[in-house]
């Protein structure tokens, strides 16, 4: 990576840290500054106190130095503690804001990127790296350490400058001492660099293992999976897999820890050798009268801090340069563009309700695949009609809906609303036309009312009316807190567990509450019992009202309630028309599907 790229990434990272929590950024930098200065106060005043004692200065002067030593040190430590406390609270704000960035980015991504496995793996990786202390969290630490090290180097240089100006000290000792400090710093740099490479290799080697271990942990802690784990005797096998992952991490950590520990020990040994040499030089200088007794403590402490600070500075720079790769990967996720054209046209409002939607030679392939999910689809239906979409699994039914809702754009061809390509309409306004219940819909661990309204502030009477139209009114009346009853037990021990059929009714009520011109139902009765299913079928027209209803179903009996039926097969529409007309064609796909389903109801079971 070029120096200019390092500078660009660092600048962007620091700006982002400040944007996420300005107060915290200032606080942890001030904490680094104050904590760097703090040890030099007792060093300076203690040396003066020792020299004053040796010179038999008055008691008042001794007391003043003692008070200044203890008092200023206390004040600086108290200030550091206060800043650390505020920084502790600030890190929570920073973490929450950074977590929110993931959600905010996901909500602004194109659906193709959200569903892309490579994108999901990238997000999981950068989150895992953040939890391990890299990317923005490492930058925060590096920024504080950089200031900390620079301040200590400057303070140490100021407090030891007098040694190199002092007379009465053998000439060879000064360059020898400077050379010793330089050698120790360089050796420390090399050792720290080697240690950092070992640690980075360790982490890189276990990225996939850490992601898998995290997923395994969530899987075992998910109470909704508890029944399957117990009924199928999965506990032992899951525990063994989890243990194997843990042992692998432990072995790799131990393998990396041995050379890292040896390098750390070598660095410590060099530090102590230099410190011993400094003591010998200063003692000799003191005996010759070149330095005072108090200066010995001052110079030893300052030189020790100088070496540590120089090593810290180099280590920080090295870690910053390494972390830039993690930051680059972090930013690559947030730099994923949304290439879907947002459009600018306002959706036309017509009094005669004469709208129509048309697919014009539409073909579509999902990203990173060579298989056509839809091929040369031509279809037109009028707004206000009840349209049924049927076909075998994988025939393209749900893909057709995703394109209609502009979750994806066609690979070829175009979709038009009143003759205008839907890509030209304002994206958010066009999306507001649809209320959809997909097969893989999700309810949330919040109140029943909030699940229906998809917001915290809602019209209670309207929510109850939608629940009634969806057939959930009796169940709602039996709930302990009515619309305020929390669903599931994720956050509330009094939450109510609901069945799959009940969840489907709530999802249908949510689609009705949105009150959009188009209502799209993808297998809306798949989890319902026969009575509830019949109620949805028989009241389908009343539920949909004057809205355009697009109804995907494997159960062809439901198609009799629709104005038009589109039959999909292998990504193409092979038939379209009314139920009676399609059934009258014995060679058609619809007749074959109808006959296959009817056989289960008309033929006796075989032994």
Tell me the pLDDT tens digit for each residue of 13-45: 999 999 988 888 888 889 999 999 999 888 888
Q: Please give the Cα distance from 358 to 381 (Å, whole number).
A: 7
Within its chain, how far is the Cα of 425 from the centroid? 31
Q: Which of 49-63, 264-278, 361-375, 379-393 tops mean pLDDT?
A: 361-375
The answer to whether 514 touches 485, Cβ cutoff 8 Å, is no
Distant-in-sequence, close-in-space partners of 210: CB < 8 Å, separation ≥ 6: 128, 132, 249
Q: Please give the Cα distance from 307 to 141 (Å, whole number).
A: 20
Q: Please give the Cα distance from 518 to 417 (Å, whole number).
A: 12
pLDDT of residue 376: 94
Q: Mark out the alpha helices in 132-172 (DSSP H runs).
A: 135-165
H or E stretch covering 76: helix 59-108
Q: Which of 219-233, 248-262, 483-497 tops mean pLDDT?
A: 483-497
pLDDT of residue 460: 92
The answer to whether 387 touches 548, Cβ cutoff 8 Å, is yes
pLDDT category at 462 given cuts 50, 70, 90 is: very high
**What percent of the chain stands above pLDDT 70?**
91
Q: Please give the Cα distance from 284 to 288 (Å, whole number).
A: 6
Neighbours of 296 (CB within 10 A): 20
Could you tell me the pTM of the whole model?
A: 0.72
Within its chain, how far is the Cα of 421 from the centroid? 35
Map tokens 């100088």 to a residue: 306
**DSSP for residue 605:** P
Sign of CA dihedral 175, 180, 184, 186: positive
pLDDT of residue 224: 65
Encoding tokens for residue 165?
Answer: 């100006």
DSSP state string for 250-300: HHHHHHHHHHHHHHHHHHHHHHHHHHHHHHHHHHHHHHTTSS-HHHHHHHH
Task: List the 572-577 sheet strands across, edge first.
Answer: 434-437, 518-522, 548-552, 386-391, 564-569, 572-577
pLDDT of residue 273: 77
Tell me which of 539 and 250 has the higher pLDDT.
250
Q: Which domains does the chain have, with CATH numbers?
A: 343-433+516-601 (3.40.50.300), 440-510 (3.40.50.300)
Encoding tokens for residue 144?
Answer: 């504080």
Residue 548 phi, psi (nearest 5)? -75, 125
- For the segment 355-382, the average pLDDT, to the nearest whole number, is 90
The answer to whether 403 touches 422, Cβ cutoff 8 Å, is no
* 197-202: Cβ within 8 A, 24+ apart: 198/256, 198/259, 198/260, 198/263, 199/256, 199/260, 200/322, 201/256, 202/252, 202/253, 202/255, 202/256
Nearest to 409 by CA among 379, 369, 366, 440: 366
Nearest to 292 by CA among 166, 419, 161: 166
**What percent of the chain stands above pLDDT 90?**
20
Nearest to 191 by CA among 307, 81, 291: 307
Residue 605 has pLDDT above 60, yes or no: no
The residue ranges of DSSP E strands in 309-411, in sequence order, are 356-365, 372-382, 386-391
Look over the chain and give the mean of its residue pLDDT values, rounded to a whole number. Answer: 83
Read off the pLDDT of residues 81-130 as tens digits, 9 standing for 90 and up. Answer: 888 888 877 888 888 888 889 888 988 888 888 888 888 888 888 988 88
Residue 393 phi, psi (nearest 5)? -60, 135
pLDDT category at 607 given cuts 50, 70, 90 is: very low
- For the segment 356-373, the average pLDDT, to the nearest whole number, is 91
Residue 353 has pLDDT above 60, yes or no: no
pLDDT of residue 328: 93
Read off the pLDDT of residues 295-346 as tens digits, 9 standing for 90 and up. Answer: 777 877 887 888 788 878 888 888 898 889 899 999 999 999 888 788 888 8
Read off the pLDDT of residues 165-193 as tens digits, 9 standing for 90 and up. Answer: 766 666 677 777 777 777 777 777 777 77
**DSSP for residue 172:** T
Read off the pLDDT of residues 499-529 as tens digits, 9 standing for 90 and up. Answer: 888 888 898 899 889 888 888 888 766 656 6
Residue 8 phi, psi (nearest 5)? -65, -45
Whole-angstrom distance between the N-terminal and C-terminal Cα of the chain? 71
Within its chain, how far is the Cα of 438 from the centroid? 25
Residue 348 phi, psi (nearest 5)? -65, 135
Q: Please give the Cα distance from 327 to 138 (Å, whole number).
A: 9
């Amino acid at each position: 990576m070029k120096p200019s790229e390092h500078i660009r990434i660092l600048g962007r990272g620091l700006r982002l840290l400040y944007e996420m929590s300005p107060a915290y950024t200032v606080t942890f930098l001030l904490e680094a500054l104050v904590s760097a200065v703090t040890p030099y106060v007792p060093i300076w005043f203690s040396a003066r106190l020792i020299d004053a004692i040796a010179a038999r200065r008055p008691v008042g002067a001794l007391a003043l130095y003692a008070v200044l030593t203890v008092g200023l040190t206390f004040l600086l430590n108290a200030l550091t503690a206060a800043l650390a406390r505020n920084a502790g609270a600030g890190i929570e704000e920073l973490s929450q804001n950074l977590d929110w960035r993931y959600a905010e980015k996901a909500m602004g991504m194109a659906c193709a990127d959200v569903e892309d496995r490579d994108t999901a793996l990238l997000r999981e990786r950068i989150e895992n790296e953040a939890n391990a202390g890299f990317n923005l969290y490492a930058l925060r630490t590096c920024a504080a350490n950089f200031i900390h090290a620079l301040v200590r180097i400057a303070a140490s240089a100021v407090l030891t400058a007098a040694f190199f100006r002092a007379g009465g000290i053998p000439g060879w000792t000064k360059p020898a001492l400077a050379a010793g400090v330089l050698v120790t710093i360089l050796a420390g740099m090399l050792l720290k660099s080697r240690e950092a490479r070992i640690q980075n290799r360790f982490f890189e080697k276990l990225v996939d293992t850490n992601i898998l271990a995290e997923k395994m942990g969530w899987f075992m802690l998910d109470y909704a999976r508890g029944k399957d784990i117990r009924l199928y005797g999965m506990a032992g096998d899951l525990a063994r897999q989890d243990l194997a992952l843990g042992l692998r991490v432990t072995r790799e950590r131990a393998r990396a820890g041995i050379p890292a520990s040896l390098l750390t020990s070598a660095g410590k040994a060099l530090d102590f050798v230099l410190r011993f040499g400094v003591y010998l030089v200063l003692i000799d200088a003191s005996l010759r009268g070149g330095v005072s007794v108090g200066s010995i403590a001052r110079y030893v402490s300052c030189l020790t801090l100088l070496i540590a600070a120089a090593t810290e500075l180099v280590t920080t720079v090295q870690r910053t340069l390494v972390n830039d790769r993690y930051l680059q990967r972090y930013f690559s996720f947030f730099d994923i563009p949304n290439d879907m054209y947002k459009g600018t046209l306002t959706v036309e409002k017509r009094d005669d309700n004469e709208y129509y939607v048309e697919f014009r030679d539409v073909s579509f392939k999902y990203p990173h695949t060579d298989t056509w999910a839809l091929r040369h689809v031509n279809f037109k239906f009028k707004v206000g009609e009840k349209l049924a979409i049927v076909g075998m699994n994988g025939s393209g039914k749900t893909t057709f809906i995703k394109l209609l809702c502009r979750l994806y754009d066609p690979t070829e061809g175009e979709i038009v609303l009143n003759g205008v390509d839907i890509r030209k309409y304002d994206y958010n306004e066009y999306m507001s036309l649809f209320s959809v219940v997909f097969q893989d819909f999700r309810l949330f661990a919040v109140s029943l009312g909030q699940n229906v309204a998809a917001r915290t502030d809602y019209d209670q009477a309207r929510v109850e009316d939608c629940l009634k139209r969806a057939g959930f009114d009796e169940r709602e009346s039996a709930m302990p807190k009515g619309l305020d009853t929390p669903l599931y037990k994720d956050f509330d021990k009094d939450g109510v567990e609901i069945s799959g059929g009940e969840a489907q009714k709530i999802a249908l009520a949510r689609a009705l509450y949105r009150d959009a011109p188009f209502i799209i139902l993808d297998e809306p009765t798949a989890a319902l019992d026969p009575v509830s299913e019949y109620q949805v079928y028989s009241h389908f027209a009343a539920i949909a009202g004057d809205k355009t209803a697009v109804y995907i179903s494997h159960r062809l009996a439901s198609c009799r309630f629709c104005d038009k039926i589109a039959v999909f097969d292998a990504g193409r529409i092979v038939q379209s028309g009314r139920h009676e007309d399609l059934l009258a064609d014995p060679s058609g796909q619809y007749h074959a599907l109808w006959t296959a389903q009817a056989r289960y109801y008309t033929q006796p079971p075989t032994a």
